[in-house]
Every structure is written in C-alpha cells, then in structure tokens.
Structure 1
C-alpha cells in the first residue's frame, strides 16, 4: 500500500496526517483559514512538507458538503463557503502535483468503519452520525450510495413524526433543548447530564431521552427494511454512551411487536473509530478511486 497525505477539512480546524500503508502518522490540526487564498496556501505548504518528509504519492481528502465524485466539485453548503461550487479537486491536484481524492466526511467515516472498524465483516451497512443533527452514509457492496442529488445518507431530513424531522427529535442537543424549554429555571445541562438525570429518576429527563430513543429506533427500523444492511453503525459522541444502543433496541422491539411480520432485528453497533474515522476513510476512498483508474 502506498504512502499518502491525508487532509480532513473541518469548520473549526483542518487535520493533517500521513499514511504509511498501515497506520496514520504525523497527525496534527491547524485552525481553518478564513479565506480561500489562505486555505490554498496552508494546504499546499502542508502537502509540500509531506512530500519532502514522507515521499507521498497522493493526497486523500475528507470534506464537508456534497462532494461530486464525477466533477470534483463540492456542492451543497457547509461551514466553509469558499470550498464550494468550483473544481476544487482539480485545483488541489495541480497545486500539489499529485493525484487527489475527495469524499464527504460522513461517507469517509463510514468507509473507515467498513474497512477495518465496526463494520469490517459487512458488505453493506448504514452509518448514522448523531451530533447536532443526524447525518450518515449508505454503503452497498462496499461502495458509497451517493444518490441522485448527492443526498444519500442525509437521514436527519427523515420525518420522525407528523411535524418533526429526525434531527429535531433524535439528537442529544435537541433533547436538551426540549428539556430546558419545559424547565426554564434549570441551569444549562449537557447531553451527558440529561442522560444522568434520566438514570437518576428525573421524570422529565426520562421523557426526553425516551423521545430520542423512539425517534432513532423508528428511523433505524425503517432503514433496515428499506436497505436491509448487514449492520447499522452509530457514530458521533453519543455513541460512547453505553445506554444508547440498549435504549434504541428496546424501542425497536416494541415496534417489532406492533408489526407482527417484522422478522428482522437490526444489528446495531457503536463505531470503532472516532476522531480518526474521517482520516482513515479518506484513505479508503483514495484507494477505491484510483483502483478504478
């Protein structure tokens, strides 16, 4: 396996690393520049160092936004407006003097889990990233399903009930927001604290956590019967919560009791990689991209 440079573009910072064919090396992060010119200057300088120190043969990039693999354009929107709507992949390749691959960050994380993480035994999986909202990826036969409009995996837009989407009901920040709205006299709490309050008998906290469990369970049940993946992998900081998957499974069992013909129980697992997932997945995407050339 070849030596590669890796870049994970984020709204707050950009992570840089190298890949020696087996492991991630030289990992560090730098604040995301405010302008396109400063961005190009930074990434070009970092890749030049990689070329000198590690003799890399390509650069694998994880990016926010809807990455069009055919055009090399980052479509849609993100926290970094200047990376969108021009042929950024081609420009980066010219600046680096190396082949470049680009893929959406959630898709990269899913590829990492599929390749050597929680989904490594699977050919197909659904990856849900649960953070401020809900995103993720669909993988079929080891390939990302991008969708006709590059919206494959945008699970947060799914309707969770008659009036709310999944991102409004199925995340810890949304549960905290509902809890605080009903208890304006309570100091600000975190998602972790809300789960602790629920475990300690706070009825209002239990109700909001239950809403979260049910919304995620309903979405996962529907995804299982829509795509029939071998595994459903949960990512995001909430995946570290030992209560999460048992709570979702209880709600799925309740749904399966309602739907008598529902014979399949989704195989839900927590992700293995966390802050390394985008970097590792970008490498997988590079190898897939240039294996086809």
Structure 2
C-alpha cells in the first residue's frame, strides 16, 4: 500500500449514501451522494456503495489503484474489528451481516467498518475541534444522539464495540418520552431531533397552564411538522415555545455532559450534529449547565467546543479509520 495517497470514506445512512475520496491531509477531493438505496436489501445496497465509490474516484480524477483503504460507516451496532453488523432500525436486513468482508471481496481493497459516531469522533480528533484534546469525547446531537471516546489517540469501543452510546444514558428517572431502546428518560428521548414534536407539544401544554404564550412558530401549523430548522427560526422571531424547547434541550445535554465528565473525566468534549445549528444560547446554556453541576468538583476546567467539520465529519472519519492510533 506504500505510495497510495488516498482513502475512501463511505457514510451509509438510513436515507443518504455519501462517499468521498479523502487525501492524506483529510480533504475530500471527490465525492458522490445519492438517496436511492432506501428500502433495498444487503447486496443491493452494496451495489450502490460500489457505484458511488467509482463515481467519487472519477470526480477526484483517480482510480481504485491509488486507494490504500476503504472505511464504511454503518447506522447501527457493528462488531469491531470484524465489521459484522448487529442491529439497525434504519435499513432492512443487515442482521449479523459481514459488511467488512463483503466490501473487501468486491473492491479488492482493504476495508474497515464501524459505526458513524465513532468515525465522526475520529475525524474531529484528528482534523477538527478535538485536535490537542486527549482524552476526548465527541457527542453528536442530531436526529438521534450518539458519540465516541478517544483515549491515548485511539477510539475506545468497549467489550463488544458499542461504547459511546451516550444517547441511552438515563438523565430523567421520572420518565418522559419512551426511547427507541424501550426505556424511559434516556437523553435521546428528551433532547434529540426525532422527539422535537412530542417535546414541543408537552412544553406547550405546560406554558398554556402557566398562562404563557404557547403558539407554534410562523409557518408551522402542526406539532408533527416541527423540526430543528423551524425551532431555530422561531427562536430568531422570539417565539416563546421554541425558546422553551431549546432551553430544555440545552439543560438535558448539559446534564449528559456532566455525567460524561464524572465518568470519564476527559480533557474535552466536542459537540456536533445538526442541532448545533440551533441559536448560540443552546450551546451556551448546555455548557453552563454542565459547569454549574460540576461546580468545585471540576478542578481543571474541562474544555467544551463545537465541532468544526459538520456534515463532512462522517466521510472524513470513515477514511480515517486506517489512521487510528498513528
């Protein structure tokens, strides 16, 4: 593999399939993004991945012969390092499926497979906001909530490879919305994109009972249609309901970061994901909540930063799986 300067990152999501050719400096030099794998089964999805790899290579003006490795991200639990998928709610099939082995046989190129949050963690650590932070935790707050852990320059995956499922830490034992895992009070069931409609409806009832304004933001006429972009726009318009939802989300994320501080004591936490596009007070209040809860127990202040790579983190991180620990 000496002299082969490029790696390929594959971000296999529930709705989007993104492939990028990544150079030695972490730059995406050619990519291909499609949405036509939804509903397909395993081998058909692999057909789409292979097609997009060739398209991305063409866009980069290079070929498979100049690729040292391919990293594939899976939207669910996957066993490391053999790359066998365990569970996912985003794609049909893929139960105990040898994803790494199948892709390597198709491409004739060394492959690695991991979950998406681990790869985003590695990307931010090597090329983004996590540079210089070790130990480091990455927390992604988006449709769901996940994350990853860096210790001594390497991802910590745990015994079965599923470490970093921060979305399933219980932060409210009084209950609340039921999580996809079946428990109540998980961070993901209280502060992720998928539960914005239910959270807003619950908070609106509380505001109405208090005699405060509980109207939906302009352009939104149904709780089920409310999303992160509408929350952000509503906050800009001083909509009381939107501000209350974002404040509650910030409080729960702050509690989650406090728990991470107590359990892992990292040098820093990097926050990423789509909900970081909410107004600045979301990040500021989440950080303040964490620091206030820690109080004097935080002798040396843990650093909390916003992620820098945004939507590029997954593809760059997938390609970076081959650099882990270097």
Range class of TM-score, shorter chain: 0.7 to 0.9
- Report whether the alignment pairs 1:280 with 2:316: yes
Distance 1:69 1:176, change over 3 A: same
Pick aligned residue for 1:226 from 256, 263, 266: 263
C-alpha contact 1:175 1:212 (8 A) present in aligned 2: no
CA contact (8 A) 1:173 1:191 kept: no
Give the 5 Å matches for 1:252-263. 252-257=290-295, 260-263=296-299
Secondary structure of the corresponding residue to residue 81 of structure 1? coil
2:62 aligned counterpart, secondary structure: helix
Aligned position for 1:36: 42
CA distance in 2, matches of 1:62, 1:252: 30
What displacement does 1:267 show? 1.4
Contact 2:22–2:28, Cα closer than 8 Å, also in 1:
yes
Mapped to 2, the partners of 1:38 and 1:284 lie a distance apart of: 26
Instruction: Tell me how far apart the structure 1 counterparts of residues 282 and 117 of structure 2 sit (CA, whole Å).
Output: 20
Measure the CA separation in 2 of the matches of 1:131 and 1:45.
Answer: 28
Which residue of structure 2 lines up, in the alignment, with residue 92 of structure 1? Answer: 103
Residues 80 and 225 (structure 1), Cα distance of their counterparts in 2 relative to 1, 3 Å cut: same
Question: Aligned residue for 1:131?
Answer: 142
Tell whether 2:189 aligns with 1:174: no
CA distance in 1, matches of 2:49, 2:196: 38
CA change 1:136–1:159 in 2 (3 A) is same
1:249 matched to which residue of 2?
287
Name the CA shift for 1:77/1:173 in 2 (closer, same or farther; >3 Å): closer
Match of 1:213 among 236, 243, 250: 250
Deviation at 1:154, TM superposition (A): 0.8
Provide structure 2 residue ranges, at least 5 long, that are not aligned to the other structure. Answer: 176-184, 206-213
Cα distance in 2 for partners of 1:131, 1:149 equals: 24
Are the counterparts in 2 of residues 62 and 105 from structure 1 also a CA contact under 8 Å? Answer: yes
Deviation track 1:163-183 (CA, whole Å, cap 9, x = no partner) reads 211112223553542223435
TM-score of the superposed pair, with normalisation by structure 2: 0.79
Deviations along 1:83-111, one digit per CA (max 9) or x if unpaired, are 33122211211111111111211111110
Distance in 2 separating the partners of 1:17 and 1:199: 35
Looking at structure 2, the residues matched to 53 and 262 of structure 1 have their Cα atoms a distance apart, in angstroms, of: 50
| 2:146 partner SS | strand
Residue in 1 that maps onto 2:277: 240
Alignment of 1:53 onto 2:101: no
CA deviation map 1:225-253 (0-9, x unaligned): 21111110111112233222211122234
Aligned-pair distance for 1:133? 2.3
- The equivalent of 2:231 in structure 1 is 194
CA distance 1:28–1:275, change in 2 (3 Å): same
- Residue 271 of structure 1 is matched in structure 2 by 307
3-state secondary structure, aligned to 1:127: strand
What's the offset of the Cα at 1:199? 6.3
After superposition, the Cα gap between the structure-2 partners of 1:35 and 1:256, relative to the gap in structure 1 and judged at 3 Å, is closer
- Matched ranges for 1:125-164 at <5 A: 125-162=136-173, 163=175, 164=185
Shift of residue 32, structure 1, vs aligned partner = 4.1
State the Cα distance separating 1:72 from its structure 2 match: 2.1
Alignment of 1:19 with 2:25, yes or no, is no
Matched residue, 2:124:
113
Which moved further from structure 2: 33-42 or 86-95? 33-42
* Structure 1, gaps ≥5 residues long: none
TM (normalized to structure 1)?
0.87
Q: How many residues align?
A: 288
Aligned equivalents of 1:263, 1:174: Cα separation in 2? 35
